């Protein structure tokens, strides 16, 4: 058992509490990882606010990179000392989604009505005598974590962990939504709703795919300069218009956009993103985590005329296969990650990090 520091979320709408936790050794087919760097993602905050329902107490975090400390019985693909990225979408290689060329959402993932436990129904974390839940099979807001071997990817030993941790969620999710899920084509027009780290990664993907026009949409105009630096051709703030934003986008493009992406996790913007894409062949992709217990009511004529509405988890990538390749592409400078990093804080200041997220900084 390793004793280390972790940021425990004891209950909803409360700050993180830095605690000493006990991390049990890995069982068969599990891997214990020393976390070196972790990103802060809005999905972690969604658990705190209740928009994403998970059991408490819990150790959040799912976008990270680290070094393998030890492995359980039967683990052959990974050894202590390897640099790795934990995978919140595992790849078992055996379920229908893993076996299909069209899918990536492995049946072993803990997304949805989550148990918050390892595959055997137990936790590897305890604190003050209490069992602490895992978060989507990763739990990276801790100095050490335990993951299943299907939920970890070995990466280039030269990769800078404080940068490539973003490939564990934010970058891959956005970039893949554009190049994998939507399959944006050269010369197409795109709209991206939400210009946080994931939305900016969608822009990077749209630009890499050769889109001729990329329109960023956000109610925080402070986000526009960075969006343009990464490839947005136009940026619009819905607060600047009297009319609904989908009408503004249709007017800007004549017919609506070829591809739209909702990268926020709000039902109103999901509906607007669908409505702003071309009525016959437009494709709208939901990237933001939908809020719990909310439903969308929409005019089915929007789909009848030919639009496609799609979802994308982890950018459609098969995680164990793709993450090492994405890290290799970063090392070859095929894309940038540095502009997505606004602040670097010590672990003890995790609450300040979330304050920065919530205030749009």
Catalytic residues: 41, 43, 46, 62, 169
Query: Tokens in use for 73?
Result: 């019985």
Alpha-carbon distance of 18 to 68, in angstroms, equals 23
Please give the DSSP secondary-structure letter assigned to residue 100: S
Q: Count CA atoms within 13 Å of residue 351 on its CB side.
A: 10
Alpha-carbon distance of 182 to 186, in angstroms, equals 12
Q: Mapping DSSP to helix (H, G, I), strand (E, B) and coil, where does residue 156 land? A: coil
Measure CA 127 to chain center: 27
Helices and strands in the chain: count of H runs, count of E runs: 11, 15
Report cis status (omega within 30 of 0) of the bond before 243.
no
Please give the DSSP secondary-structure letter assigned to residue 273: H
Query: Tokens in use for 19?
Result: 């605690």
Beta strands in the chain (DSSP E): 2-8, 17-23, 30-38, 64-71, 83-86, 125-127, 130-132, 144-148, 152-154, 189-193, 213-217, 234-236, 259-262, 283-286, 308-311
Alpha-carbon distance of 49 to 52, in angstroms, equals 8
Measure CA 314 to chain center: 6
Total residue length of the chain: 361
């Amino acid at each position: 058992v390793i004793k280390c520091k972790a940021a425990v979320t004891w209950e909803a709408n409360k700050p993180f509490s830095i605690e000493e936790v006990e991390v049990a050794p890995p069982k068969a087919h599990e891997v214990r990882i020393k976390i070196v760097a972790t990103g802060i993602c809005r999905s972690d905050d969604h658990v705190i606010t209740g928009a994403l329902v998970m059991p408490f107490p819990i150790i959040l975090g799912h976008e990270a990179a680290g070094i393998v400390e030890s492995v359980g019985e039967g683990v052959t693909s990974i050894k202590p000392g390897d640099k790795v990225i934990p995978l919140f979408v595992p790849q078992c290689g055996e379920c229908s989604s893993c076996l299909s060329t069209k899918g990536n959402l492995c049946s072993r993932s803990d997304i949805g009505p989550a148990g918050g436990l390892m595959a055997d129904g137990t936790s590897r974390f305890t604190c003050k005598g209490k069992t602490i839940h895992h978060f989507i099979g990763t739990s990276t807001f801790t100095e050490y974590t335990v993951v299943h071997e299907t939920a970890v990817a070995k990466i280039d030993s030269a990769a800078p962990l404080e940068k490539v941790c973003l490939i564990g969620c934010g970058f891959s999710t956005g970039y893949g939504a554009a190049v994998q899920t939507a399959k944006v084509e050269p010369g197409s027009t795109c709209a991206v709703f939400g210009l946080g780290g994931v939305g900016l990664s969608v822009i990077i993907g749209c630009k890499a795919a050769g889109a001729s026009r990329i329109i960023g949409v956000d109610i925080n105009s402070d986000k526009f300069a960075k969006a343009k630096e990464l490839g947005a051709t136009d940026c619009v703030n819905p607060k600047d218009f009297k009319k609904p934003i989908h009408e503004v986008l249709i007017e800007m493009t004549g017919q609506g956009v070829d591809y739209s992406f909702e990268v926020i996790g709000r039902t109103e913007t999901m509906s607007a993103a669908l409505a702003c894409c071309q009525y016959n062949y437009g494709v709208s992709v939901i990237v933001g985590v939908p809020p719990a217990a909310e439903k969308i009511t929409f005019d089915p004529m929007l789909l009848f005329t030919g639009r496609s509405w799609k979802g994308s988890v982890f950018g459609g990538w098969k995680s164990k296969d793709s993450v090492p390749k994405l890290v290799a592409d970063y090392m070859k400078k095929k894309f940038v990650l540095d502009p997505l990093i606004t602040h670097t804080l010590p672990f003890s200041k995790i609450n300040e990090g979330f304050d920065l997220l919530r205030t749009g900084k």
